Chain A
Amino acid sequence: MKLDAKIPSGPIEQAWDKARFDMKLVNPANKRKHSLIVVGSGLAGAAAAASLGELGYRVKCFCFQDSPRRAHSIAAQGGINAAKNYPNDGESIYRLFYDTVKGGDFRAREGNIYRLAQISVDIIDQCVAQGVPFAREYGGSLTNRSFGGAQVSRTFYARGQTGQQLLLGAYQALERQVHAGSVTMIPRTEMLDLIVIDGKARGIVTRNLVTGALAVHIADAVILASGGYGNVYYLSTNAKGSNVTATWRAYKRGALFANPCFTQIHPTCIPVSGDYQSKLTLMSESLRNDGRIWVPLKKGDQRPPNEIPESERDYYLERRYPSFGNLVPRDVASRNAKAVCDEGRGVGKTGLGVYLDFSDAISRLGEKTIRERYGNLFDMYQRITDENPYKVPMRIYPAIHYTMGGLWVDYQLQSTIPGLFVLGEANFSDHGANRLGASALMQGLSDGYFIIPYTIGNYLATNKFPKVDESHAEVQSAVSEVRQKTNKLLSIKGKRTVDSFHRELGKLVWDYCGMARTAEGLEFAIGKIRALREEFWQNVTVPGSGDDLNQSLEKAGRVADFFELAELMCIDARDRNESCGGHFREEYQTPDGEAQRDDDNYSYVAAWGYTGPDSPPQLTKEPLEFHYVHPSQRSYK
């Protein structure tokens, strides 16, 4: 198979205009005749469903929570980037483009990223008009901060609740369309399979999470905006329900899965405190703007932080990266934290932690300013740890946070199955091997508000949609597969809980396919994952029935998919014999321990295809070309 990304030719600045001009349009009167399915109501899904409803399409939108407003996007804290250049500090579309290509360690497409940077400015305008209460200057204009390794202030924010406010904006737009009758919102419902007929995505099979009823929904096209798969690690900063099921079922129906091993470890999370721990809490990385990261110089130094004199502290990021200091990108900050902890210089009960210290900032700016900037984050930290970060440094440690990999899509956001479009974190598109802070919200909204409304029109206008009914053989076989799997999970009645399997799987993936990876370790992990998966299918216990609300059953189905995904992640990581971004293969590093890319051999997107339960996945490569930003060794020194 040859992958065609369909990037328009010609100058990059005009590519999106040209693409839009070349697209076929659906006559306004005909839009009502087209039905669309949107799976997910996060930023990407809610934005898409609302915008498509506004255009006049008939849309059904699904989420597994009780309300679309609760999607995982709600938890994003730090902010959203846009090339507005309001602060007049050197920002431009080109700079945001450049930073994103470089930040992704040259493993994403230039064409997509340029479009993202262009659209970023429209997103802010749209959100402001919806009533998103972004932070303002006294004079009334929008304010910005620098974030996550950027040297310009391009990040817009609403206190520490940017994701919440952006999602509520999109949710409200969505509810407005529900009111108008163009969107039907179907919450507490999980997509469990994709229906592909004559090679085109034509519907989904769902389970009502309250009644257990399976249902079939047929449409002209299916849009997946189901989020990322960070919960494969069990402990992550993702919401507990986040899962890979929707995209995984699409993979098994023929969509290629790209770069599964590109996962992001976020440097500033609250360290693990015990075995009962169910998730990890992120401390927004905006904290790195004012906090200084350090560990004791000496191994095993048990003194409380305030008793360790300046001369015996190692501000290792400032030391190693004088020009970026504490603001180096996430992968670099995370890896360095791991390295100092591996040396035995970590802090806290477990030794897996580093200090994030605000004492300098407090003496420079005053406690009031710090409270204004980060008050709710400090409160959250104190609530969880019972320590006062205004007085003692925070303890932080990296945790899995975001997944750059996802279903492969072309410039139109269409997967390798015609009629199946993928938006937001669920696709692989714009962040390469490492995502910059505050750019996931930007990408989700760009996909949902400003890209899919155009590209889906082109698809609808250029294809025919013969009527499909539920008796179609493909529909029936998808339903019966779902039913069989559910029954199977309920009938094993073994000895171990779903969570105990999930924890063990997560630990394996974290240890061998987390912050640092080796070919040998990955090989070992693949064997272990397979064995554990076999045990799961023999020995898991799922109480209750399939005919009512059954949270164990929901989890079991998701974990079953995580097992298969985990193996593919390790296969992808083992196959990529280089280090880039969040993918750090210990065999491939520079003499001073930085990631060593191999552009001659690995400048491609690795897209994997499903070939059956017992045969290895098939790799298709999409070569990456760089005409504007020339690949160089990333340096933040």
Chain B
Amino acid sequence: MKLQLKIWRQRTSTDKGAFVSYTVNDVDPEMSMLECLDVLNETLIERGEEPVAFEHDCREGICGSCGFMINGVAHGPERATTVCQLTMRHFKDGQELVIEPWRARAFFPIKDLIVDRRAFDHIIEAGGYISVSTGQAPDGNAILVGKDIADQAMDAAACIGCGACVAACPNASAALFTGAKIAHLSVLPQGKPERDRRALAMVAQMNAEEFGNCTSIGECTGVCPKEIPLEVIATMNRDYLRASWTRREDQSETILPFTEWSTGSKLQSDPTSRD
């Protein structure tokens, strides 16, 4: 089949950038979206032009490198699917696809479809871990973790850090990403001791990175390739509030009320409970 690709081209981060249209003939329905771009790029290179720059590595939907908007939807039309796993059989012969990078203040453009997502690393760096140095661990079975808890942790830990949630959010909020890590670690007994510090530090960093506020619109979970549930944001809010209640002295100046929820009814149930 044949497709029209209208792709955002931008040579460097300071260039203005513009859409350029390309026709790709011989699109095989079994190809992935990235393989379709490969085919386009081969013809561009043969013509002496620069290929479309896009990020990718595993091409199995797990590394989180790839991602762009297709017709306004992060990672394209298929539910729970990254662009590297999106096969062309989901499009119709002759269709036009508008392809553009993630757009968010915290993700600076680099080239064409590539943006800088280092802000995510900074959020993890601020506290997205359990502080246990190599060699300090007790036996793996010393602390029992019920299957349902382990499953819950795994559901949240499945986040691949792709950034689609931010790109889809009208506020460009990183609440789903940050909430996923907080939820993963805070449900596990191993993660409990640092729960307060972690929530305070990660949320502060999230705000410092110029991500927008969460107003619980829910676009994020809809495009998330790993279907990270909105509940992780509730967990983040709960941990954060609990922490601000119990560790007031640790609060840094940069911490603002970070979601609309933090002034809403969700709060009330939690600050005092210490499950």
Contacts and interface: CB of A to CB of B under 8 A. Distances in A.
Contacts of A68: 121
B62 A543 contact: no
B150 A67 contact: no
A285 interface: no
Nearest to B52: A551
Contacts of B139: 125
B31 A141 contact: no
B58 A126 contact: no
Given A51-B134, A137-B147, A552-B45, A70 B65 contact: yes
B150 A135 contact: yes
A210 B118 CA distance: 13
B183 to A, nearest CB: 11
Interface in B105-161: 110-111, 114, 116-118, 120-121, 124-141, 143-147, 149-151, 153-154, 157-158, 160-161
A549 B39 contact: no
A124 B65 contact: no
Interface string A521-554: 0000000000000000000010110001101100
Nearest to A282: B60
Nearest to B36: A276
A274 interface: yes
B42 interface: yes
A492 B14 CA distance: 29
A384 B85 contact: yes
Given A239-B58, A278-B38, A129 B136 contact: yes
Most buried by A among B44, B81, B141, B184: B141
Contact of A133 (B81, B121, B154): B154
Nearest to A548: B12
A543 B157 contact: no
A140 B63 contact: no
Contact of B35 (A74, A276, A453): A276
A9 to B, nearest CB: 27
B266 interface: no
A74 B62 contact: yes
Interface string B161-201: 10000000000000000000000110010110000000000
Interface string B40-69: 001011101111010111111111110000
Contacts of B92: none
B42 to A, nearest CB: 6
A140 B128 contact: no
B30 A273 contact: yes
Given A67-B161, A159-B154, A500-B42, A141 B144 contact: yes
Contact of A380 (B61, B111, B132): B61
Contacts of A450: 134-135
Interface string A253-295: 0000000000000000000011011110110000000000000
A493 B49 CA distance: 12
Nearest to A125: B137
Interface stretch (A163-171, A216-224, A406-414): A163-171
Contacts of A60: none
Nearest to B186: A131
A66 B110 CA distance: 11
A66 B108 CA distance: 13
Interface bin, chain A: 35 or more
Contacts of A168: 157
B50 A125 contact: no
Given A131-B191, A140-B145, A125 B140 contact: yes
Interface stretch (A173-181, A323-331, A433-441): A173-181
A75 B60 CA distance: 8
Contacts of B191: 131
A11 interface: no
A54 interface: yes
B127 to A, nearest CB: 8
B144 A140 contact: yes
B47 to A, nearest CB: 9
A70 B38 contact: no
Contacts of B39: 276
B11 interface: yes
B87 interface: yes
Contacts of B150: 133-136
B57 A240 contact: yes
Contact of A497 (B45, B145, B154): B45
Contacts of B184: 131, 133
B124 A276 contact: no
A136 B134 contact: no
Interface in B181-231: 184-185, 188, 190-191
The dominant DSSP class at the B interface is loop
A119 to B, nearest CB: 11
Interface bin, chain B: 35 or more
A128 B63 CA distance: 22
A383 B147 contact: no
Interface string A576-619: 00000000000000000000000000000000000000000000
Given A136-B147, A175-B129, A383 B81 contact: yes
B14 to A, nearest CB: 11
A138 interface: yes
Given A128-B137, A383-B85, A210 B62 contact: no
B34 interface: yes
B247 interface: no
Contacts of A134: 140, 150
Contacts of B134: 47, 50-51, 54, 126, 173, 449-450, 453
A86 interface: yes
Interface in A146-191: 158-159, 161, 164-165, 168, 171-173, 175-176, 178-179, 185, 187
Contacts of A72: 57-58, 63
A543 B49 contact: yes
Given A278-B38, A543-B48, A66 B185 contact: no
A158 B146 contact: no
B45 A161 contact: no
Contacts of A548: 11-12, 111
A158 B116 CA distance: 29
A552 B51 contact: yes
B42 A69 contact: no
B58 A549 contact: no
Contacts of A125: 137-140
B59 to A, nearest CB: 5
Nearest to B38: A278
B28 interface: yes
Nearest to A73: B63
A499 B34 CA distance: 14
Contacts of A495: 46
Given A66-B118, A176-B131, 18 more contacts: A50-B134, A54-B133, A65-B65, A67-B161, A70-B64, A122-B135, A131-B157, A131-B185, A136-B146, A140-B147, A158-B154, A173-B132, A380-B60, A383-B85, A384-B87, A497-B42, A499-B42, A551-B51
| 6 nearest A-B residue pairs (beta carbon) | A140-B144, A172-B129, A129-B137, A125-B137, A133-B153, A133-B154
Interface of B: 11-12, 28, 30-32, 34-35, 38-39, 42, 44-46, 48-51, 53, 55-65, 78, 81, 85, 87, 89, 110-111, 114, 116-118, 120-121, 124-141, 143-147, 149-151, 153-154, 157-158, 160-161, 184-185, 188, 190-191
24 contacts: A66-B65, A67-B118, A69-B64, A70-B161, A72-B58, A72-B63, A74-B64, A75-B62, A125-B140, A140-B145, A158-B157, A164-B160, A173-B133, A175-B124, A175-B125, A176-B129, A185-B121, A187-B121, A278-B32, A279-B59, A384-B87, A541-B48, A543-B48, A549-B53
